[in-house]
Structure 1
Amino acid sequence: MTAVTPPEAPVTAGWQYTGILSALALGSQPDPYPAYRQVRELGVFLPGEIAGGRITLVTGHAAGSAALAHPAIGHGYRDGVSYRGTVEDGLGSLLRADPPDHGRLRRLVGRAFTPGVVASLAPGITATADELLDAALDQGEVDAVTAFTRPLPLRVMCRLLGVPDADEVLFGDWADALTRGLDPRPMLSAQENAARQSATVAFEAYFRDLLADRRATPREDLLSRLVAIHDEDGDALTETELLELCTLLLVAGYETTVNLLGAGILALAAHPAALAALRSDPDLIGPAVEEMLRYDPPVQVIGRTVLADVEIGGQELTQGDGLLVLVGATNRDPAAFDEPDDFRIDRFAGSGRARRHLGFGVGIHYCLGAPLARIEAELTFRALLRRVRNVTVVPEDVTFRSQIVVRGVRTLPLRLAA
C-alpha cells in the first residue's frame, strides 16, 4: 500500500483541494486504515476548501453521529445551498431530499418497501446463493466478484423490481456507471461523467416503459407496489420520483451489498479463528455482519451540506459549507470502539454490544436498504459456511475499485473446497 501522508501544515490553516482529495482517496487502497488513523489524529474536524468552496472532513465517531443526526445538516438542493450544486446523477428524490419532502417520500416508500417484503425475499436469496456456490465449487478457483458477490445482489434487486433475468447484465453495467458518478465531480474523467449521464438516460427510459407496463398489468413485485401506493390523503409518488427511486434502489441496494459481501469474505479469510467461531455458532452471523460493516464499510464517505449556521461538537459550521463524514475513520475511532483495528465477530452480540457503527449512516437519512443488505449478507454467509470447508484468498491478486464514496474489491480470487 502507498500510504497517504496527511498535510504537514497545521489543521487551523485548512486543507486545500489536494489534501482533501488525498484523504478521500484512501478507500481505494488495499489497507487504508493506518492512513485513516493518521488523518483522524489531526483532528475531529478538518476544515478546508475544494473546488472553491468550504468543506470540512469529520473523522470522529461522536462528531460524525451528531452531525448526521442534526436537523441543520442535510442536502440543501431544495434551498439552493448544496455545496455540490445541482443534481446530475438521477438520484434526486429520496437520497437528496430534506424535510418536509424527505418525510413524505420516506412515508410513501415505506408503505411498499415493508419488512414483510424484505423477509419474503429470503428463500430466493438462499436459492440464488446455493446456485452460485454450486458453480463456484465445481470450478474450485474463481473470482468471487464475477462468480458470487456481484451476481447475487444484482439478481435479488432485479427480481425485487420485476426486471427480467435477461436484463441483469445491462443493469449491472448501469449500476457501475451510476455508482462511479457518486464520487466528487473533480475526481471523474470526462469519459466517466459521460458514462454516468448515458446510464441515467438509459435507465430512466427503460423504467418509463416498465412503469407503464405495471400500471396496465400490476404484478407481485416492488415496482407494482410503488406505482399503486397512496396515503390516507391521496398522495402518491410522481413519475419522476418513481424513476429516481428505482435508480436509488439499483445503486444503494445493489452496490452496497456487492461490496459488503466482498469485504466480509476478505475479513473471514484473513481471520480463520473468526470463521471457525461462526461455524460453531451460526447465531453470530448477524453480529458478524455488523462487524463487517464497521471494520471495512462499503460506504467510506457520507456527504452533507450545512443548511443553517450551527455549532456541532465545538465546531462552527456555516450555511452552504460541505461536510464529509469519513466513515472509514469514524468506524475505527478508539474513543467509540475498543481495539478498533481488531475484527471481532462478537463485538455487536449480547447486552454488552458496541455502539452503532456509521456504515449505514444515522438519523432521518439512515439507509433505506439497510434491512435488505443485512438479510442478503446473513443468508449468503450462512450458505457459504454450510457449503464451503475452506476459503483461501490469493492476496497478491486482490484489487480494489478506484472509487471514493463506495469501497469495494474489483477482483477477489478464491480457492474453495466443498
Structure 2
Amino acid sequence: MTHEELLRQILSYDNRADPYPLYSELRRTPVAQGGDGLFVVSTYGEIKGLLHDPRVSSDARNLSPGVAGVLLPDEDTSVLPPSFLRLDPPEHDRLRRMTMRPFGPPETPRRINDMRGELAGIVSGLIDAFGDRKQVDLVDDFSYPFPVTVICRLLGVPREDEARFHTWADTIAAGLDPVPGQDPEERRRVTQRARTELGAYLSQLIDERGDAPGDDLLSALVNQQGPDGRMSRMEVLSTASLLLIAGHETTVNLITNGMLTLLRNPEVLKRLRADPRLAGPVVEELLRFEPPVHLLPQRTVLADIDLCGTTITKGSALWLVLASGNRDPRRFADPDLFDPDREDNQHLGFGSGIHACFGAPLARLEAQIALTELVRRLDEPRLVEDPPPYRRNAVLRGPRHLNIAFDGVRDRGLDRD
C-alpha cells in the first residue's frame, strides 16, 4: 500500500472506530509523503521535535500556492480574524499571554481550581436529569452540555442565555462533522449564520462588560491593562469564540472516549469507583490512549527540514499524527494497553510547544470530575453497542453517540430549580 493509499484509509470513515493498526503501519515510515506537497509525521520523537521547531508555522497563509494543507477548517475567517491558535510569534505569543493572564498562572493561579465546586454541581445536575431512565446517550445527555455550560459560566454568559449559547455551539460543532448526503453549501450557510449570531451576541456582551465589568473571563479580556496593552474588539471576539469551540469540542471527546474506554476496561472502572484519587492518572492515560485530537493538519514548513532521511520542503503542508505518536512502541512500553499506572506518561494528548492546549488544566479537571461521578453514580453501566457510531471528523475523533445502559442512578440529588 502506498503512503497516499494508507492516508486515504486513515481518513476513511470505515476505519474511524479503530485507526490504530493503520497508524502502526504508517510509523514504518516516520516521515511519509502524501502527495500534493503534503508530509505526514507519525512517530513520537519526530512529532515532539517538530512541535518545538520554529521552522514549523501554524499560519496557513504560509502554504505554497496549490498546496492543500487543511483537512477540515475549524475556523471561518470570513467572520472573525484567525485566533492565536492559527498565528505564529510574535502575534501568537502576545495574544496567548493576554488570554492566559486572567485564565491561569502566574497572574490568576486559582481561577480553574476555584471552579471545582461549580463543575461538580453541573455534573451532578446532568446526572440527576437522567431520572428514572435506564439508558442514555452519553454524548447528547452529558458530554456535550457539560463543557458548554462550563464555558458559559467561565465567560460570564447569563444563565437565561445559556440555552441560546448551547444552540449556537451545537450548530457550529455540527459544521465540523459533515453528514453523508448533506448539502455542503447548506451546512456552510447554517454554520456561518450561527457564527455570525454568536459573534453579534458576544459583541453585545463585550459592550456590557466594558461598562460594568464582572469577575468573569470576558470582563477580564475586555478591560485588562497589562504589559501588552489591551486586546482589540475583534481580538476579544476571536479569542472568546476559540475558547468556546476549541475547548468544547476536545472536552466532549475526552469525556466520551474516557467512558467508552472505562467500560471496555471494567477492572479500571471498579478501581476508579473505589478510589477517586485514581482520576488523575486515568485521565492522563486516556489522553495518551484515546486522545481527543488525533492529528494536527494545519502546519506549514517555513524552511527545508531534514528529518529521518527525508527533506520536508519549504512551503509544504505538514500533518502531525499525535494519536500515532502516543502509540509509538519506541516511546511507550505496551502502547496498546490502557494502563493508568503507567510511569513517565509524557503523552501528546494536548500537543506540546508554544501551541500546547491552552485549556488543558480546565479539560483535565472537567474529565476527572465527570468520569469519577459517572462511574460512582451509574449502577452497573454497560455499552449498548460496541463500537459506537463515530463522528465523521478524522481530526476530532470520538463517538457521535454513546448509548449506555444501567440499572439506575445512585445517590440521586435533590430536585433543582
Distance 1:236 1:21 in 2: 45
Shift of 1:28: 6.8
Gapped runs of 5+ residues in structure 2?
411-417
Distance 1:272 1:171 in 2: 36
Shift of 1:55: 0.8
Distance 2:325 2:192 in 1: 32
Over 3 Å counting, the alpha-carbon distance change for 1:314 and 1:228 in structure 2 is: farther
Shift of 1:385: 3.5
Among the aligned pairs, what percent are the same residue? 38
Contact 2:6 2:26 in 1 (8 A): no
Distance 1:405 1:27 in 2: 15
Distance 1:376 1:320 in 2: 38
What is the aligned-residue RMSD (CA, Å)? 2.5
**Does residue 51 of structure 2 align to residue 68 of structure 1?**
yes
Q: Deviations over 1:348-368 (max 9, x none)?
A: xxxxx2341111110000010
Contact 2:56 2:300 in 1 (8 A): yes
Structure 2 residue aligned with 1:126:
120
Equivalent of residue 356 in structure 1, options 338, 346, 369: 346
Over 3 Å counting, the alpha-carbon distance change for 1:181 and 1:27 in structure 2 is: farther
Shift of 1:377: 0.6
Equivalent of residue 110 in structure 1, options 82, 93, 100: 100
Distance 1:27 1:397 in 2: 12
Structure 2 residue aligned with 1:230:
225
Structure 2 residue aligned with 1:275:
269
State the AA in 2 paired with 1:400.
Y
Structure 1 residue aligned with 2:307:
312
Q: TM-score, normalised by structure 1?
A: 0.87
Contact 2:389 2:402 in 1 (8 A): yes
State the AA in 1 paired with 2:366.
E
Structure 2 residue aligned with 1:415:
405
Structure 1 residue aligned with 2:233:
239
Question: SS in structure 2 opposite 1:399?
Answer: coil
Structure 1 residue aligned with 2:293:
299
Equivalent of residue 329 in structure 1, options 324, 331, 337: 324
Over 3 Å counting, the alpha-carbon distance change for 1:259 and 1:247 in structure 2 is: same
Question: SS in structure 2 opposite 1:395?
Answer: coil
Mapping for residues 11-410 of structure 1, pairs under 5 Å: 11=3, 15=4, 20-25=7-12, 29-41=16-28, 43-49=29-35, 53-77=36-60, 84=69, 88-89=76-77, 90=80, 92-114=82-104, 115-136=109-130, 138-179=132-173, 189-232=184-227, 235-303=229-297, 304-347=299-342, 353-396=343-386, 398-410=388-400
Shift of 1:245: 0.6
Count of aligned pairs between the two proteins: 393
Contact 1:305 1:322 in 2 (8 A): yes
Question: SS in structure 1 opposite 2:393?
Answer: coil
Contact 2:293 2:349 in 1 (8 A): yes
Contact 2:224 2:230 in 1 (8 A): yes
Shift of 1:45: 1.0
Gapped runs of 5+ residues in structure 1?
1-7, 348-352
Shift of 1:396: 4.7
Shift of 1:313: 4.1
Distance 2:136 2:60 in 1: 44
Higher helix share: 1
State the AA in 2 paired with 1:88.
D
Question: SS in structure 2 opposite 1:409?
Answer: coil
State the AA in 2 paired with 1:106.
R
